Amino acid sequence: MSEYPPKTLGILGGGQLGRMSAMAAAKLGMRVHIFCPEENSPASMVSEKTYVAKYNDKEALKEFAQSVDTITYEFENIPVETVQFLQKFKPVWPDDKLLEIAQHRVKEKQFLNDIGIKTARWSFANSPQDVLNILKEWNVSSVILKTCRFGYDGKGQAKYNAKDNIDIVWNSLKSEEIIIEEIIDFACEISVIVARDKIGQTACYPPVLNEHKNHILHKTTAPAPIPENMIMEAKKITEILADAVDLVGVLALELFVTKDGKILANEIAPRTHNSGHWTMDACICNQFEQHVRTVTGMTIGYPTRHSNAQMINLIGNDVKKLEKYHEMQNASVHLYGKQEIKENRKMGHVNIINPDKNLVK
């Protein structure tokens, strides 16, 4: 199913995920309008039009909605009310149900458990005493505390050890809604990206191995070097989730592989994901194209992987050291156009294709 002329896609959010989605939309002949609060965002640099306004500016939202055929979002902290308001005018995919789950760690873990997907043991806390009670109940000496909302790249979380002062740790999180999690001594971290279209067809990329530095994704290896049965299980879990939320679009599921071979779900991203950037150079249809295709009502693309890949994030000053990648025959550099370099800021990434093979010139 594909219409001609192609549609105009509206994207809420102006970051690099929006930028790469806009570029995928352009490949399919579409126009893109961005809505975000910042001027000169990475996504607006490659799009036809940008509405610069706050997410609660109803006049601007209405104007934006009227200028596009379909709307999506590129990050999960768009207010649910914004999406619900826009739904009065144009379809928004993925819908508000998935967004609401992914915005709140307790709703997320509860939803995963309700559909039979295992996670680390968790509990809700709204006071320091709740944390102390859980330590006793679980008979453990340390746990991880995370704010229920707005956490990313390890922000909004802290390890609590029974020897620490609970009030200091609690206050450092600056939130009254906390999830307490058992600390998983994992063997590795993996993630799976799935796309699903309006008629329920799914396309799943293989699980990938993720390595972090300072809580920020540093390197992704695709596919993850894990046994075939785990690959199947990780994909199955992600597809169960996509069906359960009736996904239209792309989502990523972050998972832990425990030392005794179990797979536990950690976090849902209701969007394209940093661990899927390798698909841009190693698959026929990459995660961004899948996102655009599914939210605009096109049929899903083949996720065919023609190469193995390693993705390395360019964080902060890494972006000044590109020579070594430009000299490699199998490295493909992607930059996001961010004007200012900041510590821990994602400036771009490099995909190294078939890192284990000798290349033909």
Ligand X SMILES: Nc1ncnc2c1ncn2[C@@H]1O[C@H](COP(=O)(O)OP(=O)(O)O)[C@@H](O)[C@H]1O
Distance CA 98, CA 118 (A): 18
The answer to whether the beta carbons of residues 230 and 207 sit under 8 Å apart is yes
Cβ closer to ligand X: 181 or 289?
Answer: 181
Cβ closer to ligand X: 64 or 256?
Answer: 256
The answer to whether the beta carbons of residues 109 and 179 sit under 8 Å apart is yes
Residue 267 Cβ vs ligand X, minimum distance, rounded to whole Å: 4
Residue 153 Cβ vs ligand X, minimum distance, rounded to whole Å: 5
Cβ closer to ligand X: 151 or 355?
Answer: 151
Q: What number of chain residues touch Mg ion (CB under 5 A)? A: 2
Sequence-ordered list of residues with C-beta below 8 angstroms from that of 54, at least 6 positions apart, any chain: 37, 60
215 interface partner picked from Mg ion, ligand X, none, CB below 5 to 8 A per type: ligand X
Residue 210 Cβ vs ligand X, minimum distance, rounded to whole Å: 7
Distance CA 301, CA 316 (A): 33
Which amino acid, one-letter code, is at 178? I
Letters for 237-276 (x = contact with Mg ion by CB under 5 A, - = none) are -----------------x------------x---------
Residue count (the chain): 361
95 interface partner picked from ligand X, Mg ion, none, CB below 5 to 8 A per type: none
Distance CA 124, CA 127 (A): 9
Residue 103 Cβ vs ligand X, minimum distance, rounded to whole Å: 11
Residue 327 Cβ vs ligand X, minimum distance, rounded to whole Å: 32
Cβ closer to Mg ion: 95 or 267?
Answer: 267
Cβ closer to ligand X: 215 or 259?
Answer: 215
The residue of the chain with the least Cβ separation from Mg ion equals 267
Distance CA 173, CA 223 (A): 35
Cβ closer to ligand X: 53 or 230?
Answer: 230
- Interface with ligand X (CB under 6 A): 120, 144, 151-154, 181, 183-184, 189, 212, 215, 254, 266-267
Using alpha carbons, list the distances in angstroms from residue 194 to 174, 216, 301, 313.
34, 22, 11, 21
Residue with tokens 């928004």: 92
Residue 41 Cβ vs ligand X, minimum distance, rounded to whole Å: 21
Which amino acid, one-letter code, is at 6? P
Apex CA 57: angle with CA 148 and CA 7, to 5°? 95
Cβ closer to ligand X: 23 or 222?
Answer: 222
Distance CA 331, CA 352 (A): 4
Sequence-ordered list of residues with C-beta below 8 angstroms from that of 325, at least 6 positions apart, any chain: 331, 333, 350
Supply φ then ψ for residue 145, to 5 degrees. -110, 135
Cβ closer to ligand X: 273 or 291?
Answer: 273
Residue 185 Cβ vs ligand X, minimum distance, rounded to whole Å: 7
First to last CA, the chain: 39
153 interface partner picked from ligand X, Mg ion, none, CB below 5 to 8 A per type: ligand X
20 interface partner picked from ligand X, Mg ion, none, CB below 5 to 8 A per type: none
Using alpha carbons, list the distances in angstroms from residue 127 to 134, 166, 170, 172.
11, 10, 8, 13
152 interface partner picked from ligand X, Mg ion, none, CB below 5 to 8 A per type: ligand X
Residue 249 Cβ vs Mg ion, minimum distance, rounded to whole Å: 19
Contacts with Mg ion, residue ranges (CB under 5 A): 254, 267
